[in-house]
A and B are shown apart, each in its own frame.
Chain A
C-alpha cells in the first residue's frame, strides 16, 4: 500500500470513529453518575433517522443535529424519570427502550429512506491541513470530526479537573457520601443522564448527515454500533480519553478488516467483517486480566522492585466501574 493511501485510510478511521466517540462520551458521563442507559443502540438509529429527516425537510444541517440532540435528551429523560423517580430497573428499561427506539426509527423513517438530503460540508482548516501527515489526519475533516476532538478534551477536563466533575465522580462512587456533603444526588443524576443522552443524540446525525450520509432504513448498517459503544465505555474505564481511544481502535479494526480482504484471500469475507467484535472482547480481557486472582498470585513470586513496576502498570490499565452504577439512591 502506498503511504498516501495509508494516510487517507487512517484519516477515514478518525472520521468514522467520531460518532462512536460522541456515544461513548455521553454514556461515560451518564454511567459516571451511576445510571446505565442501555438504549444507546436504538438511540443512534432514531437520532440518525430524525436528524436526517429534519435536515432534509428544512434544508438545515444544524437543525438536524439539534433534533438529534433533543431526541437523545428526551430518551435520557425517560431513562432518568423511570429509574430515578419511579425506581424501576435501569437494565429492563434500557433494553425495552433500545428495541423501541430502533423499531421507531425504521417505522417513522420509511418515507425518508433513500432520499437525498443535505450533508455537512468538508471544512479543511487553512494552514494546519497543509502540514504533511498530521494535516490530512487531523485537520482535513468536517466540523463534526473537529467537534468530537473538542468534546473529548472538554469531557476529560470537566471530569478530572473541575469541581463539578469531582462531584460527578463522587455521585457515581458513593451517593451517600455525596449526599452528606450537600450534593443533590438525584438532580445530578437527572442532569447527566439527559446530557449524556444529548451527546449520544449527536452520534446519529453524525452518521446520517456526514459519515454515512442519508437514511437507508434497515440496511443503514448502523444497527449494533450502539452495543459496541456500551462495551467501549466499559473498556475505557469510564475515562473519556481511554473511551475515545477505544472508539478509534474499533474503527481501526473495521477498516483493517476491509483493507485486508484482498490480501487474506483464504479467509471468508464474513469472518473478517465479524472479526472486530471478538477482537474487541479479547482486548478488553487483556486490559483487565491483571486483577485476576491467578495473575496476582504469580506476581507475588516476583522480586519486590519488579513486582512494584508490574503492579503500577496493572493499576493504570485496570478499571473498576463507579461503585453505585445501576443502583437507586434513597436518603436514609
Chain B
C-alpha cells in the first residue's frame, strides 16, 4: 500500500514537533526513517498509527485521503505499529494475546487463532509455543508475536520503532528476512532506527528528519557522510583510538563467583589498570550485569576476592564501595538513576559532598548552572529531570558523577541515545579515564560500541567469562560468535584472524 504524508504539522504547546512533513512512500518499499532524539520521528509515526491526530495536513493511502482516529482505527485501515516495547500482555499466554480485541463474539475462537498463528509462523520460520506465557519470551519473540498479530489483522503497512534494540543477532536476521519477504508481497514497511548499518542492510530508501522537518531523502548507494550531514548538519568525529594505558593495576578480581536466582557466574579473574576501559559483552542476562553490580558493591560475591587499590572489598557494604570512590550508573535512567519529579538543582543538592540540615539552594543552583554549561545539557536548573530527553538525562547522570572516581561502572551508557549524545558521552568518559585514571567497566549490546571504546573486552556466555581480549585485535564477527557461545579458537579461525580493517579500528 502506498503511504503519502502531505504537509503534516503537529504542535505540543510551544514545541513544533512536525513542521510540514511531506513524504511519499511507494507500496512494497522498506522505508528507513532516521533522525536524532526529538527530531519528530515518533510524532510522525504516532500520527500515522492513530495515537495522535495532526494539527494540519493529510495522510493518503493508495491516493485516498483517510482519517485515523485511534490505533484501532489505524489497523482497520491496514496500518499496524510494532512498538519498541511490544504492547502485549506479559502475564497472559501467547494465544490469548492474539485473541484479545481480535474478533468479536462471546467465546473466543481459539482454533482459528491457533491456525493463523501456525500459518504465519510457517511463512517466516518463527516458532512460538501458543501456551507459553508472554513474560517468559525474549523481546525478539514478543516482537514476532506482535508481528504475527498485526499480519493476522490484515496490516499492509507496518511501522517498526527501533525493532533491533534488545534482540539477539539471530533474531535480527530472522526479523530482517521476514521484513524483506513482506515487502516483496507488496506490504510497506517503515523502519525507524538510529543505526545506519541497518539502513544499509535493509532499506530501499531512507528519509532523515531534523528538528521536526524532513531534511533529506536518500537512495542507495548510501554514503555515511550524507546521513551524518543530514542528521546533524555536519560531521561528528569519532574520537581516535588510543593505546591502552600502562598504569598500575587498580581493581583485582581473584576467582570471584556471584549468583542470583537464575544464574551462577564465575569464577572470574581480572585485573584492571587505572584509566583502563573494559567492555563487557554478551547476550542479556549472561552474567555481565551481575559482575557489574558486584563491582559496584550492590551484590556480595559468593566466593573469591575483590581488591581496589590493594584494599579487600569482598565483604564491604555498598557505602564502603562509595567511600572508595566506586560509582555505578544503571541502565534504567529514570527509575534507578534519577528521581522523577525533582529538578536539576534538586539533584545537585542531593548530590552535594557536604550535607547540612538545610538545603543550600543557592549553591546547588550555581552547581546546576555550571554543570549544565559544562555538559551541554539542554534544560534549565528548574527543569524536572523527566522532562529532559534521554540524551540529556544521561548527560545529567554523568554530571552528577563529576567528583573524581577510582572506578566507574556503566550499564548501557548510550542505549537509546542519538549518535551525537552517544559520541559526546564517550568523549567525556574517555577523558576521565585518561586524565583522572578512572577505570571504567561497561556493558553494552552494541558490539561496535564495545570495540570502539574498550581497551579490553570480556565476553560472557551462560555465566562464564572469556579471558580478557584486546579490543584492537578483535573483530565484530569474532565478538558476535563469542557471544553466541562459540569457543575462542573456533571464533578466531571462523572470523579470520584479525583482518587489517579490524586492526585499524
Once A174-B87, A332-B52 are accepted as A-B contacts, the answer to whether A161 and B71 lie under 8 Å apart by CB is no
Within 8 A of A (CB), among B425-468: none
**A183 touching B91 by the CB < 8 A rule?**
no
Which residues does chain A contribute within 8 Å of B89, judged by CB atoms?
Answer: 169-170, 173-174, 177
Pick the residue among A166, A176, A183 that contacts B108 (CB under 8 A).
Answer: A166
**A167 touching B100 by the CB < 8 A rule?**
yes
**B107 touching A163 by the CB < 8 A rule?**
yes
Which residues does chain A contribute within 8 Å of B262, judged by CB atoms?
Answer: 300
Asked if B46 is an interface residue, CB under 8 A from chain A, the answer is yes
Within 8 A of A (CB), among B33-82: 46, 51-52, 70-72, 75, 81
Asked if B167 is an interface residue, CB under 8 A from chain A, the answer is no
Pick the residue among A162, A170, A320, A331 that contacts B101 (CB under 8 A).
Answer: A170
**Cβ proximity bits B317-335 to A, threshold 8 Å, 1 near / 0 not:** 0000000000000000000
Asked if A296 is an interface residue, CB under 8 A from chain B, the answer is yes
Asked if B310 is an interface residue, CB under 8 A from chain A, the answer is no
Asked if B90 is an interface residue, CB under 8 A from chain A, the answer is yes
Which residues does chain B contribute within 8 Å of A167, judged by CB atoms?
Answer: 100-101
Within 8 A of A (CB), among B77-111: 81, 87-92, 96, 99-108
Asked if A323 is an interface residue, CB under 8 A from chain B, the answer is yes
- CB nearest to B101 among chain A residues: A181
Complex-state Cα separation, A163 to B70, whole angstroms: 21
**B261 touching A164 by the CB < 8 A rule?**
no
- CB nearest to A180 among chain B residues: B71
Once A181-B100, A182-B101 are accepted as A-B contacts, the answer to whether A162 and B106 lie under 8 Å apart by CB is yes
Pick the residue among B70, B88, B92 that contacts A169 (CB under 8 A).
Answer: B92
Which residues does chain A contribute within 8 Å of B96, judged by CB atoms?
Answer: 166, 169
Within 8 A of B (CB), among A169-198: 169-170, 173-174, 176-183
**B87 touching A320 by the CB < 8 A rule?**
no
Q: Closest 8 A-B residue pairs measured CB to CB?
A: A182-B72, A181-B101, A296-B261, A177-B87, A180-B71, A332-B51, A170-B100, A163-B108
Complex-state Cα separation, A299 to B259, whole angstroms: 13
Which residues does chain B contribute within 8 Å of A169, judged by CB atoms?
Answer: 89, 92, 96, 100
Which residues does chain A contribute within 8 Å of B71, judged by CB atoms?
Answer: 179-182
Once A166-B96, A182-B72, A332-B52 are accepted as A-B contacts, the answer to whether A177 and B106 lie under 8 Å apart by CB is no
Range for the number of chain A residues in contact with chain B: 20 to 34
**B106 touching A297 by the CB < 8 A rule?**
no
Pick the residue among A170, A178, A182, A293 that contacts B261 (CB under 8 A).
Answer: A293
Can you name 22 A-B residue pairings with CB atoms under 8 Å?
Answer: A162-B106, A163-B104, A163-B105, A163-B107, A166-B99, A167-B100, A170-B89, A170-B92, A173-B92, A174-B90, A179-B71, A180-B81, A180-B87, A181-B71, A182-B70, A182-B71, A182-B72, A297-B259, A297-B260, A300-B259, A323-B90, A332-B46
Complex-state Cα separation, A332 to B107, whole angstroms: 31
Which residues does chain B contribute within 8 Å of A299, judged by CB atoms?
Answer: 261
**B99 touching A173 by the CB < 8 A rule?**
no
Which residues does chain A contribute within 8 Å of B106, judged by CB atoms?
Answer: 162-164
Which residues does chain B contribute within 8 Å of A297, judged by CB atoms?
Answer: 259-261
**B261 touching A180 by the CB < 8 A rule?**
no
**A320 touching B91 by the CB < 8 A rule?**
yes
**Cβ proximity bits B261-282 to A, threshold 8 Å, 1 near / 0 not:** 1101000000000000000000
| A162, A177, A179, A180: residue with the most chain B Cβ atoms closer than 10 Å | A180
- CB nearest to B88 among chain A residues: A177
**A331 touching B51 by the CB < 8 A rule?**
yes
Which residues does chain B contribute within 8 Å of A300, judged by CB atoms?
Answer: 259, 261-262, 264
How many Å from the CB of A172 to the closest CB on chain B? 10
How many Å from the CB of A144 to the closest CB on chain B? 28
Complex-state Cα separation, A247 to B271, whole angstroms: 60
Which residues does chain B contribute within 8 Å of A323, judged by CB atoms?
Answer: 90-91
How many Å from the CB of A272 to the closest CB on chain B? 39
Which residues does chain B contribute within 8 Å of A331, judged by CB atoms?
Answer: 51
Within 8 A of A (CB), among B164-218: none
**Cβ proximity bits B247-264 to A, threshold 8 Å, 1 near / 0 not:** 000000000000111101
How many Å from the CB of A42 to the closest CB on chain B? 31
Complex-state Cα separation, A173 to B89, whole angstroms: 6
**A162 touching B88 by the CB < 8 A rule?**
no
- CB nearest to B86 among chain A residues: A177
Complex-state Cα separation, A170 to B89, whole angstroms: 6
How many Å from the CB of B216 to the closest CB on chain A? 28
- CB nearest to B85 among chain A residues: A176
**B72 touching A163 by the CB < 8 A rule?**
no
| B52, B92, B100: residue with the most chain A Cβ atoms closer than 10 Å | B100
**A173 touching B90 by the CB < 8 A rule?**
yes
Contacts A176-B87, A177-B100, A182-B70 supplied; 15 other A-B pairs, CB < 8 Å: A162-B106, A163-B99, A163-B104, A166-B96, A167-B101, A169-B89, A170-B92, A173-B89, A177-B87, A177-B89, A178-B101, A179-B71, A180-B71, A181-B100, A182-B71
Complex-state Cα separation, A167 to B72, whole angstroms: 14
Complex-state Cα separation, A300 to B75, whole angstroms: 45
Complex-state Cα separation, A182 to B69, whole angstroms: 11
**B107 touching A161 by the CB < 8 A rule?**
yes
Which residues does chain A contribute within 8 Å of B72, judged by CB atoms?
Answer: 179-183
| B46, B51, B52, B91: residue with the most chain A Cβ atoms closer than 10 Å | B91
- CB nearest to A315 among chain B residues: B133
How many Å from the CB of A330 to the closest CB on chain B? 12
- CB nearest to A295 among chain B residues: B261
| A166, A176, A183, A297: residue with the most chain B Cβ atoms closer than 10 Å | A166
How many Å from the CB of B360 to the closest CB on chain A? 33
Once A166-B108, A296-B261 are accepted as A-B contacts, the answer to whether A183 and B87 lie under 8 Å apart by CB is no
How many Å from the CB of A186 to the closest CB on chain B? 13
- CB nearest to B91 among chain A residues: A173
Complex-state Cα separation, A182 to B100, whole angstroms: 10
Which residues does chain A contribute within 8 Å of B51, judged by CB atoms?
Answer: 331-332
**A178 touching B46 by the CB < 8 A rule?**
no
- CB nearest to B71 among chain A residues: A180
Which residues does chain A contribute within 8 Å of B87, judged by CB atoms?
Answer: 174, 176-177, 180
How many Å from the CB of B28 to the closest CB on chain A? 25
| B52, B99, B261, B262: residue with the most chain A Cβ atoms closer than 10 Å | B261
How many Å from the CB of A192 to the closest CB on chain B? 15
**Cβ proximity bits A298-332 to B, threshold 8 Å, 1 near / 0 not:** 01100000000000000000001001000000011
Which residues does chain A contribute within 8 Å of B259, judged by CB atoms?
Answer: 297, 300
Which residues does chain B contribute within 8 Å of A161, judged by CB atoms?
Answer: 107
Which residues does chain B contribute within 8 Å of A163, judged by CB atoms?
Answer: 99, 103-108
